[in-house]
Chains A and B, each alone.
Chain A
Amino acid sequence: MFDFIIAGVQAPIFLLVLTGMTVGMVGGFIGVGGGYMVTPALIVFGFPGYMASGIDVTHIAGKSVVATIRHRQLGNIDWVLGLAMVGGTMMGVEMGVRLLNYTKSIGLSGIALLTGSVGIMIGLFLYTQIETHRAQKKIQELSREGKTVGRELSTSNIPKFFQSISLFPIIRCHVARIVISMWVVVLVGIATGTLAGFFGVGGGFIRVPALVYMVGATTHIAVGTDLLEIVVSGGYGALRHFASGNVDIIAVFFMIIGAMFGAQFGSIATSFVRGPAIRYILSYSLILATVGAFLRLVYMLSAQKYEFLNFFAVVFTLGEMIFLCLFILSLVYFAVRHRHGKWVPAWIPSLVVVQ
């Protein structure tokens, strides 16, 4: 047990490092900060709620730097796209926080937050699942026809609509190979930032699908570019939390040490898979987080009568981290086997790359 003088709690270092590592792996792979997983974990370890949020956001900023460096090496970052989006995201976060304060002032925040997050997550989960399933089927068909299938395949036509809006200024994102109005990118930033600010999360789980399905980036580039965004938005969030006295820097330090290993593995693991594999894991993380949020919603709506609902919500959220890590590990394991011509389950070849 380590005595965290600032937070005023005693917690095991091992658990903090492990949490940083697991969330780092998932975050490096699907491009999210993982706030919805870390905050409950820290509360379970004994940190007060406000400290848990502050430590979480600050560790996300540091971890995203680690993951961004690796994604830069893998060529997964479009700097033009990321920097064009940052301004909109920051504006959106501020709007989201104000919206949250408004709902609080009319006594709605807890339920509004949970209902909103459950609705949006289910919507995103369903769309991502259906689209990714279609993409996977198309990859299988193309492979049967003997064609070389690329790393990315998306069946969504929505990006074509957004890219056709020719509102000045137009930006050229060379890495993502997108020519798009800057206003579209800024508006996507504002929309995703507002949701992030309202829900009090980094917003990666909304921004990655938005970058893929609205802007038209490949999943790998969406992941890398989103992590770059999280460095900026997470850094700003960390500043606000520090100013509010919500951060114990030593707790952040231990989590970053774990995240360094996890984020490396998660980022490098993206080079073994195709875009749909990342989207699948992103959608599973969404639905698992939704179940946790839904259990908490029922708990709150039932006037906090059924304590077991809250308990299961925490168990579910913590279990999700382990499940997603195992999923990523198994994908990499099968990708390596596939590269060496060994047997793999039938669903694997369409999700991984041979070289």
Chain B
Amino acid sequence: MAGPSKTKGTIKFVVWTAIAAALISYLWIEYYNGTLVSWYYYKAKSDGWAVNANAFKDAGKDKPAILQIGSFDKIEGLQAVPVKKGDRLPANTNGIIDKKTVDEGKRVALDGNTLKVTVPMQVKEAKGFKFKDTFKHKGIQTSEWGGAWCVGFILVLGFALGMMAEGFTDMCGLKLTKIKHYEGVH
């Protein structure tokens, strides 16, 4: 099979590069305007308090973090918002401290209108690897439609990049022809 013409290859490369660039720009914008992040931190999977775990990552038993409980639209610093399972999460949430953890009182304790965090991180192990287990991502329900959109996006992006690469080799005149699998003794 003869290789495709360079002109066709150039058109293919330019078109698919433009599509790939548009897709990447769109992804970038959606990531930084917070849409993708809000799809990830979408709903509460359990009853508890929505928090931003980054705010108290350095807390300890000798230096507990005191989180102010309230119904904030956006969590800023040491704040916690009470949530029920299925509630939409306030902006800037990145984890839920569930009721069970608070009731146990080993890592977090309820003290009037505040939560006192003493153990923000534990070292755990999975598949032979040690990792830091924090309140980040805990009790978070991702948007299912958002998940499906992301998978679709990744497959479309893969397709665009694949076609762009194919256009590039065609444009360079690299004659990639079908392999003759059954020629000669086999």
Q: Which residues of A come within 8 Å of B, CB atoms?
A: 5-6, 8, 39-40, 43, 48-51, 58-59, 61-70, 73-76, 110, 113-114, 142, 147-153, 175, 177, 218, 220-221, 231, 235, 238-239, 242-245, 247, 249-250, 252-253, 256-257, 260, 264, 268, 270-271, 296, 299-300, 304, 310, 313-314
Contact = CB atoms under 8 A, between A and B. Distances in A.
Nearest to A274: B186
Given A73-B176, A150-B184, A253-B24, A49 B162 contact: no
Given A245-B142, A250-B31, A260 B162 contact: yes
Interface in B140-186: 140-142, 144, 146-148, 150-151, 153-155, 157-159, 161-163, 165-166, 169, 176-186
11 contacts: A6-B40, A48-B137, A50-B137, A62-B155, A73-B178, A147-B184, A151-B184, A242-B147, A249-B150, A250-B31, A253-B157
A110 B52 CA distance: 32
Contacts of A74: 176-179
B129 A249 contact: no
B129 A245 contact: no
Majority SS at the chain A contact face = helix
Contacts of A69: 159, 162-163, 165-166
A61 B176 contact: no
Contacts of A76: 179
Contacts of B147: 239, 242-243, 247
B150 A63 contact: no
Contacts of B158: 61-66, 256
Contact of B127 (A68, A110, A245, A252): A110
Nearest to A309: B128
B150 A253 contact: no
